[in-house]
């Protein structure tokens, strides 16, 4: 009986664990995409700032 109880407990923990892993993967991908977008935006801003500075004849 103890083996059945242990097996039932382990089987009942599998679905919540899988949902937790799925949530973690989704959240990680969202956060990584956001970070990549912020990095790209910062790079574009730096390029535009450099163009504007050079067009005005100022030193960077």
pLDDT digits (tens, 9 = 90+) for 2-60: 779 989 999 999 999 999 999 999 999 999 999 999 999 999 999 999 999 888 876 55
Q: State the Cα–Cα distance between residues 53 and 39, nearest whole angstrom.
A: 21
Does the residue 54 lie in any domain?
Answer: yes
The pLDDT value recorded for residue 28 is: 98
Does the residue 8 lie in any domain?
Answer: no
| DSSP 3-state of 60 | coil
What's the structural domain count of the chain? 1
The pLDDT value recorded for residue 58 is: 64
Cβ neighbors of 50 (< 8 A, separation 6 or more) are: 60
The pLDDT value recorded for residue 3 is: 79
- pTM of the entire structure? 0.68
Say if residues 22 and 30 touch (Cβ distance below 8 Å): no
Residue 13, both tokens: 């923990």
The pLDDT value recorded for residue 55 is: 83
Does the residue 50 lie in any domain?
Answer: yes
Does the residue 40 lie in any domain?
Answer: yes
Structural domain boundaries enclosing 53? 22-60
The pLDDT value recorded for residue 56 is: 80
């Amino acid at each position: 009986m103890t083996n059945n109880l242990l097996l039932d407990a382990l089987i009942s923990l599998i679905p919540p664990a899988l949902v937790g892993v799925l949530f973690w993967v989704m959240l990680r991908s969202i956060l990584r995409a956001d970070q990549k977008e912020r990095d790209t935006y910062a790079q574009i801003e730096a390029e535009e700032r450099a163009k504007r500075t050079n067009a005005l004849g100022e030193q960077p």
